[in-house]
């Protein structure tokens, strides 16, 4: 396991170095600073999405579920749509990016806490009720967002449509400090819970018999998931299948249930996928295809393959 982690670290280091220097011309100080900011954003988003998906799958005991099932990305789009509809495009674009990001994080976290408070109870079966409620609310919110897109001005629709796709190559550097701080706090909390997550992954009954308080642990994990998803969504936009792709690649490379191994491994794999993919598309192949489109396509196929394997 350690050798594999070292190997992944070396691959990630090569991807980071290649992203910084391949195709670079002109003033190296400007190039390294400019690409370094994008590199940091890719690392933050990769770790946030990978860790949130990993601990969410641990909590639910299902390796094909992602936090997107709870409707976080749909709530993000509905909030932006209402904001654009009420304020208009000029006023919306005049909002400072830091205020916008903190508002998005607060909206998603309040929505998650409201859902958890209404649905989650001491009974272990309430977790499945929470998932089903999340699916229903996700469909409802997506329907409301679709209706809103049909009644707003075409210019407003264009702005909202642009926010519907993840933008890994166009991250506001002013948001990195806020995103990095929240991600670091959540990352430290998750790492301190790594042994408890091993117990939670055994299921609610076994975890309770081993002394792990069920409802309190579930609320803590779901709150951390909502924070990480909110940060990544507010930073680059909604990403549906990246977490699914990264976690299942990690399970193939590291067939273990120990989160002391899975947590760093998922972070490394996510960094390799994002940085390596972005560098390949942007600096080697010279393509204008967004990385998010490639990830969603590959992740969607991976989801179908995993679903068919489970149905056998």
pLDDT tens track of the chain, all 312 residues?
A: 788 899 999 999 998 888 888 777 767 777 777 788 888 888 998 999 999 999 988 988 888 888 876 677 777 778 888 888 888 888 888 888 788 888 878 877 787 777 666 655 544 455 677 667 777 877 888 888 888 878 887 777 777 777 766 677 677 777 888 888 999 999 999 999 999 898 888 877 777 777 777 677 777 888 888 889 888 887 887 777 888 889 989 998 998 889 999 999 999 999 999 888 888 877 666 666 677 777 777 777 777 777 677 666
pLDDT at position 121, please? 52
Phi then psi dihedrals of residue 219, to 5 deg: -65, -40
Query: Of 229, 252, 238, 233, whose CA–CA distance to 305 is shortest?
Result: 252
Q: Give the position of tokens 């390796």.
A: 63
Query: Of 8, 92, 70, whose CA–CA distance to 262 is shortest?
Result: 8
Whether the CB-CB separation of 263 and 194 falls below 8 Å is answered with yes
Tokens encoding 228: 């990480």
At 189, which helix (H) or strand (E)? helix 176-192
Helices (H), 152-175: 154-163
The CA-CA-CA angle for residues 251, 187, 74, to 5°, reads 75
What is the C-alpha end-to-end distance of the chain, expressed in Å? 30
Whether the CB-CB separation of 302 and 244 falls below 8 Å is answered with yes
Q: What is the CATH number of the domain that holds 107?
A: 1.10.3470.10
Whether the CB-CB separation of 236 and 11 falls below 8 Å is answered with no
CA distance 126 to 241: 25
CA distance 215 to 222: 11
Range of the domain at 250: 2-311
Phi then psi dihedrals of residue 124, to 5 deg: -60, -25
pLDDT at position 66, please? 82
Helix, coil or strand: residue 139 = helix
274: number of Cβ within 10 Å = 29
88 Cβ partners below 8 Å, 6+ apart?
A: 156
Helix, coil or strand: residue 124 = coil
Phi then psi dihedrals of residue 15, to 5 deg: -65, -40
DSSP 276: I
pTM, full prediction: 0.86
CA distance 106 to 115: 14
Query: Of 227, 233, 177, whose CA–CA distance to 52 is shortest?
Result: 227
Number of domains in the chain: 1
Q: Give the position of tokens 């972005």.
A: 278
Whether the CB-CB separation of 294 and 229 falls below 8 Å is answered with no
CA dihedral 157, 93, 240, 117 (to 10 degrees): -100
CA distance 291 to 274: 8
Whether the CB-CB separation of 32 and 210 falls below 8 Å is answered with no
280 Cβ partners below 8 Å, 6+ apart?
A: none
């Amino acid at each position: 396991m350690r050798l594999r982690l070292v190997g992944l670290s070396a691959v990630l280091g090569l991807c980071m170095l290649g992203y910084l220097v391949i195709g670079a011309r002109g003033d190296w100080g400007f190039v390294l600073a400019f690409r370094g900011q994008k590199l940091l954003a890719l690392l933050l988003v990769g770790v946030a999405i990978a860790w949130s998906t990993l601990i969410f799958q641990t909590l639910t005991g299902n390796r094909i579920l992602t936090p997107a099932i709870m409707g976080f990305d749909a709530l993000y789009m509905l909030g932006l749509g209402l904001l654009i509809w009420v304020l208009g495009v000029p006023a919306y674009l005049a909002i400072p990016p830091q205020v916008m990001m903190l508002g998005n994080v607060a909206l998603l976290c309040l929505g998650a806490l409201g859902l958890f408070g209404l649905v989650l109870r001491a009974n272990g079966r309430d977790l499945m009720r929470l998932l089903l409620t999340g699916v229903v609310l996700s469909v409802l919110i997506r329907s409301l967002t679709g209706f809103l897109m049909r009644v707003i001005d075409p210019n407003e629709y264009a702005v909202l449509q642009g926010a519907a796709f993840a933008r890994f190559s166009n991250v506001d550097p002013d948001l990195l400090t806020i995103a990095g701080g929240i991600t670091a706090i959540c990352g430290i909390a998750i790492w301190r819970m790594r042994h408890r997550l091993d117990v939670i992954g055994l299921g609610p009954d076994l975890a309770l018999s081993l002394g792990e308080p069920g409802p309190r642990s579930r609320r803590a994990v779901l709150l951390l998931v909502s924070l990480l998803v909110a940060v990544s969504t507010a930073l680059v936009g909604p990403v549906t299948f990246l977490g699914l792709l990264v976690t299942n690649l990690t399970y193939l490379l590291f067939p273990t249930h120990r989160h002391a191994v899975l947590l760093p491994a998922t972070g490394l794999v996510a960094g390799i996928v994002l940085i390596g993919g972005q560098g390949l598309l942007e600096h080697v192949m010279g393509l204008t295809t967004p990385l998010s489109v490639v990830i969603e396509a590959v992740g969607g196929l991976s989801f179908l393959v995993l679903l068919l394997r489970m149905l056998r």
